[in-house]
Amino acid sequence: MQEKVYKSIDDMPLYNWQKCLEGDLRYVREDLKDLKTNKEDFDVVYDDYISKRGLGKEYKQYLDIIKKRALIQCDYLITKDRFKLTLIEVEDAKLEGLKKNTNQQSSIQQALIYLSKWLGYRLDWKQITVSEYYLILDEYSKQNN
């Protein structure tokens, strides 16, 4: 018997997406009776997300900081210049600041409350797809910028 799994963010409900991001990968299935988790099934959906939405701004900033930190560490190993240790600490502070800013962002449920108020009707995260959610969120951001 073929398992029914979501293959795209166009089909997957937002609730299931959030559960998968929290680590409960059985929500990648349309039928939750099968308790088996399969990371490869979620990877297909996540790849679809990346191809359609790209990496987030915060994640790109994170990667840039990690890259710069690694280059400074390499310079330190080559030159033994102790000032490089200070530069590494500066990059670590940037990472901590980025982590705090990311944690302060509202949750998906809070965002749905604001979006529902903006649209004039309630958005149900078990009905709305991941793709629809991000499309509405993009439109809301355009209107409020």
The string over 96-116, giving b where at least 16 C-beta atoms fall within 10 Å of a residue's C-beta and e elsewhere, is eebeeeeeeeeebeebbeebe
User: What pLDDT is stored for residue 56 in this prediction?
Assistant: 74
What is the chain's pLDDT, residue by residue, as a tens digit (145 residues)? 456 888 889 999 999 988 888 888 888 888 777 666 678 888 999 899 988 888 777 788 889 999 999 999 999 999 999 999 999 999 999 988 877 655 444 578 888 888 888 888 888 888 899 889 988 888 888 887 6
User: What pLDDT is stored for residue 105 in this prediction?
Assistant: 46
User: What pLDDT is stored for residue 101 in this prediction?
Assistant: 58
HSE (side-chain half, CA atoms, 13 Å) at 71: 7
Decide: pTM greater than 0.85: no
User: What pLDDT is stored for residue 1 in this prediction?
Assistant: 45
Asked if residue 8 lies in contact with residue 41, where contact means CB atoms within 8 angstroms, the answer is: no
Q: 129 - beta bridge partners?
A: 13
Q: Give the integer Cα–Cα distance in Å for 52 and 129.
A: 14
User: What pLDDT is stored for residue 37 in this prediction?
Assistant: 67
- Please name the residue ranges forming H helices in the chain: 14-21, 39-53, 57-79, 83-103, 108-119, 130-143
Q: Give the integer Cα–Cα distance in Å for 71 and 139.
A: 38
Helix (H, G, I), strand (E, B) or coil at 63: helix
User: What pLDDT is stored for residue 40 in this prediction?
Assistant: 84
Q: Give the integer Cα–Cα distance in Å for 111 and 118.
A: 11
User: What pLDDT is stored for residue 52 in this prediction?
Assistant: 87
